[in-house]
Amino acid sequence: MIEVELPAVLQAGACTCAECKDACMRKPGWFLPQQIEPLAEAMRLTVQELFNRHLQVDWFENLPPDHDVVYVLSPRLLSERGGAMFPGDPTGECAWYNGGRCAVHKLGKPAECQMLGHPFIKGRHPAVARAWLPFQGWIAELLGRQPEMSEYKPPRALFRDSLVRRLIGGT
């Protein structure tokens, strides 16, 4: 089912460096679609179990020439649960970043994480998003509904919203 080719540089356990570690604490990198099944297999999980426990749906807006939004799979944020959409502020530490190491480094970390720090791979973010175009239905199946991006909200706005919810007796 998955037909996108991985460049030769994208091998499991390709590299480690300070830039990568910094990125792990800012936002997880995105997978290419063909990485999901092998990773689930390596972790002895079904794809659905992998998604429910460890992944979230992120998105890329305004992909040229005419795609408003493309949904992609990413490791979940440490602060979020798996099997869900990314929040309005889709940043934060990757849940697989543990003691300065990547827990899936040898099992098959996301293509974007493997590409980081390789300057010859330009435009990786839109390229990885484009690879997900044929798999939007698969993401909806895993999520159990059509994915829907959240309005972007920086951390201060999220904090304010959560405070308001608490004050009015919400969750």
CA of 26: how far to CAs of 20, 77, 131, in Å? Answer: 10, 10, 23
Least separation in angstroms between residue 26's CB and ligand SF4 is 9
Note the Cα 15 to chain centre separation in Å: 19
Does residue 102 belong to the site contacting ligand SF4 (CB under 6 A)?
A: yes
- Determine the 3-state secondary structure of 13 from DSSP: coil
Question: Is 113 an interacting residue with respect to ligand SF4 (CB under 6 A)?
Answer: yes
- Residue 32's contacts (CB-CB under 8 Å, 6 or more residues apart) are 4, 6, 10, 110, 111, 128, 131
- Helical spans, DSSP H, in 4-123: 18-26, 36-42, 47-54, 105-108, 111-115
Q: How far is the CB of 128 from ligand SF4 (least distance, A)?
A: 13
Site for ligand SF4 in 61-100 (CB under 6 A): 75, 94, 96-97
Residue list 22-41, contact with ligand SF4 (CB under 6 A): 24, 28-29
Is 110 near ligand SF4 (CB under 6 A)? yes
Q: Work out how close the CB of 113 gets to ligand SF4 at its nearest, in angstroms, rounded to a whole number.
A: 3
Count of helices and strands (H, E) across the chain:
8, 5
Smallest gap from Cβ 29 to ligand SF4, in A, equals: 5
CB nearer to ligand SF4: give 93 or 140: 93
For strands 101-102 and 84-85, give the pairing. Answer: unpaired
- Residues in touch with ligand SF4 (CB under 6 A): 20, 24, 28-29, 75, 94, 96-97, 102, 104, 109-110, 113
